[in-house]
Amino acid sequence: MKKKSTIVDIAARVGITPSAVSKALHGNTRISDDTRNAVLKAAQELGYQQNSMASALRTGRTGLIGILVPGIHYSFFSSAIKGAEEVLSDAGYSVMISQSKDSQEQEKKQLDGFVRANVEGVIASLGMETKQVGFYQEFSKDRPLVLFDRVFEDESISNIVIDDFQAAVKVVDHLAEMGYRRIAHLGGYSHILAFNKRMEGYKYGLVKHGLPVLDHFIFESSPDKDFAMAVMESLFNLPDPPDAVVAASDYLALGVLNFAKSRQIDVPGQLGIVGFSNEELTKHITPSLTTVDQFSEAMGQAAAELLLDQISCIHKGQEAVSQRRVFIPKLIVRDSTRRELHLANDE
């Protein structure tokens, strides 16, 4: 454990004071080129590393950004984090990561952890169970906050979403075009805006195509494969089961697919299935799954950019205005809805 050198050591070596060293190291202040070079050289020789705790304490800036997601192992979130991390790291920030595991309590706790660590800003996506968002609003009064994907409505908080309504309409358009008529919906909890929008888009789509909106075809749940199978079980015990399912997530869709396999239901012939997220696995399963691409990495990047924007606004002493960015989703048609199977043509 070698002891690290400080600006005092450098000062001693060069024969000036610590304050002069500090200035020389930061470049911006007026200092003679000679001393600056001497300082730089000495710093090099001593293997000087600036003590971030000290400067953080002094300046109030930690160079830390927190990212809070339900779970890092979902490919949507890990891609988003990948995108954000790259942008933030390039801008000289370090990234802290926490998982809420879809629990509101955890979420609060982790956000608190960020506060204690003195992050300069946070990028977050809400957990499924999160209904009260007061603590987020509280937080965002103090520091920049950008929400992405799973957001709540608040004029004063920046967010990045995809146009989920639009996406769901596109999905129904496609299904209708393929001749599906009895389209069910397996949604997520509707207090999450994204899921709510998908639900609305689904309904709008049905109406647009003159299809019936049936309450008993609409479900709301956690993104759980087993739940999906249970729901399908009940649907297929009806005299008129659906001929297509719009799932609010790929994992739900996977559950539907498993159910179909177990019951020998032909996909896409007897049952069309659409997922949501374009998880990596959707293109590899059989039949490959029609889904909606959410541009996860780009969303992460955009979230990081908005946050950096806000931070720099604050440093310039301006009031940071909240912004929102909406990504236009892309329907990826694959075999699970391709009723007359032409040549497979992914992506």
Residues forming contacts to a copy of itself in the complex (CB under 8 A) are 1-2, 49-54, 56-57, 62-64, 71-73, 75, 78-79, 81-82, 85-86, 89, 94-99, 110, 113-118, 141-142, 254, 280-281, 284-286
> Which of 50, 55, 68, 52 has its CA nearest to residue 121?
68
Q: Which does 281 bind (CB under 5 to 8 A by kind): DNA, a copy of itself, none?
A: a copy of itself
By CB under 7 A, what part of segment 13-42 binds DNA? 15-23, 25-26, 29-32, 34-36
CB of 182 to a copy of itself, least distance (A): 26
CA 252 – CA 186 distance, rounded (Å): 7
Tell me if 261 sits within 8 A of 277, measured CB to CB: no
Distant-in-sequence, close-in-space partners of 175: CB < 8 Å, separation ≥ 6 = 183, 244, 246, 272, 274, 337
CB of 44 to DNA, least distance (A): 14
- Structural element, H or E, at residue 80: helix 75-90
> Which of 66, 154, 159 has its CA nearest to residue 111?
66
By CB under 7 A, what part of segment 303-342 binds DNA? none
* 118 near DNA, rule: CB under 7 A: no
Q: Which does 30 bind (CB under 5 to 8 A by kind): a copy of itself, DNA, none?
A: DNA
3-state secondary structure 200-256: HHHHHHHHHCCCCCCHHHEEEECCCHHHHHHHHHHHCCCCCCCCEEEECCHHHHHHH
Q: Which residues pair with 186 in a beta bridge?
A: 219, 247
CB of 185 to a copy of itself, least distance (A): 23
- The stretch near DNA (CB under 7 A) out of 48-56, 155-163, 183-191, 264-272 is 48-56
CA 90 – CA 223 distance, rounded (Å): 34
Task: Tell me whether residue 29 or residue 52 sits nearer to a copy of itself (CB atom).
Answer: 52
CB of 87 to a copy of itself, least distance (A): 12
Cα angle value 212/218/220 (rounded, 5°): 160
Task: Tell me whether residue 22 or residue 100 sits nearer to DNA (CB atom).
Answer: 22
* 99 near DNA, rule: CB under 7 A: no
Binding site for DNA (CB under 7 A): 6-8, 15-23, 25-26, 29-32, 34-36, 48, 50-51, 54-55, 57-59
